[in-house]
Amino acid sequence: MKRTLLWAAIGVIAPLALAGPEILPISGMGYLSYDVATGKVTPQAGGQRFGYSLWAATQNFNYFWGAYESEMGLDWGDIAGPVGIGGFGFTELTNSQAEDGDAWVFIMIYGEENGWNSTGRIALAGFLIENIPTSTHPPDEYWGYIWEIESEPPFIIDGSDLDLDGLVDFGYAQWFVWPTPGSLMGPGIAGDPNCVPPRCPGIESAFDLFIDPNLFTDPNLTGGSFFGTYWFGDCPFFQFYFELFAPACPNGGASGRYCSADIDGGFDCTVSLADLSQLLSNYGCTTGCTRMMGDVDPYDPFGPGAGDVDLADLSELLSQYGDDCRWP
């Protein structure tokens, strides 16, 4: 599968981008977590969740987008907002043979973003992930990691409903930097081979490409570095691998449930009337219901619910009602 240019802005076409890389197969993956405060990278045997999943494009990924160092991809989606974000997950794959510590990635989260060279985007949060391990495998193989990052303090995704589907439109950009000429590094591509949308509303099988972006002097990407919108082709539901986590509550509260029914969007780690009202406003929803709508049963802070909002969900919330899961 080759990426296909849908539209390019006149005057910014660069030879490097015209030689655009292919969608490449993944040879192998591991898990890492990253401490933003200290820069420490820690191997994980499996995923380390910081809170339950609010939005995820993580299904069925066996390929990645092999970017050159001058290229940054921006993807987008929709989420019920305003909502607090406690962490996120992303992937990086590479065949770079550079020394460990010489590669890094900038992650930016945007509000007011609906792709296709949107205007008016607002930078909500930015992260510099350093000390990315490079490859110890042959240069014709592509290996990498699923990273999970905790954000302290949490940040808020809020903004307009640009596509009129009742949800807030947001975007996420990933810009990888590494020193090995001719090698590639980039994010994994998630998708559904049956062309059924995964649990990430607002997806389109496209991403915006920027050339030589400067995320610090121009965090809202208004400096004219947009190159074009690319289509992944074939199945209409491909997306850069990404996941957003709710902030994790630090203690179990009286019920020992860690306030998993804290669904009002403020994530204050208490279960109160605001959370009950949120559930009751969606009571009777039968399919496609999210945890933020009240689908809190079965109790599993890291997994999906049953897809509905019914008596079982109300009972679960009431079993937690009054819980305070903040630090004493």
Nearest CA to 276 out of 263, 265, 289 is that of 263
d(CA 184, CA 139): 10
* 3-class state of residue 89 by DSSP: strand
Give yes or no for a cis peptide into 43 (omega within 30° of 0).
no
d(CA 223, CA 190): 29
d(CA 201, CA 188): 18
User: Residue type for 247, please?
Assistant: P
What does DSSP say about strands 53-57 and 242-245: parallel, antiparallel, or unpaired?
antiparallel
CA distances (Å), 302 to each of 14, 73, 249, 263, in order?
A: 43, 28, 12, 14
Residue 309: CA atoms inside 13 Å, Cβ hemisphere, count? 21
pLDDT of residue 172: 95
pLDDT of residue 49: 56
Q: What are φ and ψ of residue 174, in 5° steps?
A: -135, 120
pLDDT of residue 17: 33
Residues 73, 187 contacting (CB under 8 angstroms): yes
b/e sequence 179-190, b meaning 16+ C-beta within 10 Å: ebeebbbbbbbb
Q: Per the confidence metrics, is the pTM higher than 0.75?
A: yes
Nearest CA to 85 out of 241, 250, 245 is that of 245
Our CA angle for 77, 83, 86, nearest 5°, is 95
pLDDT of residue 304: 67
User: Residue type for 211, please?
Assistant: I
DSSP lists the bridge partners of residue 169 as 78
d(CA 15, CA 2): 17
CA distances (Å), 173 to each of 45, 115, 299, 300, in order?
A: 27, 11, 32, 30
pLDDT of residue 301: 63
CA distances (Å), 65 to each of 21, 74, 161, 230, 319, in order?
A: 8, 12, 28, 11, 45
pLDDT of residue 110: 95
d(CA 266, CA 277): 13
pLDDT by residue, tens only, the chain of 328 residues: 233 344 333 223 232 233 345 788 888 888 887 777 777 777 776 555 566 788 888 887 888 888 887 889 999 999 887 888 888 999 999 888 776 667 888 999 999 999 998 888 999 999 988 878 888 888 888 888 888 888 877 888 988 988 888 889 999 999 988 877 778 889 999 887 666 666 678 888 889 999 888 888 888 888 778 888 988 766 677 889 999 988 778 788 899 888 989 998 777 889 999 999 999 999 999 988 888 889 999 887 656 678 899 999 999 999 999 999 887 6
CA distances (Å), 123 to each of 57, 141, 223, 269, in order?
A: 21, 35, 14, 26
The DSSP 8-state label assigned to residue 80 in this structure reads: -
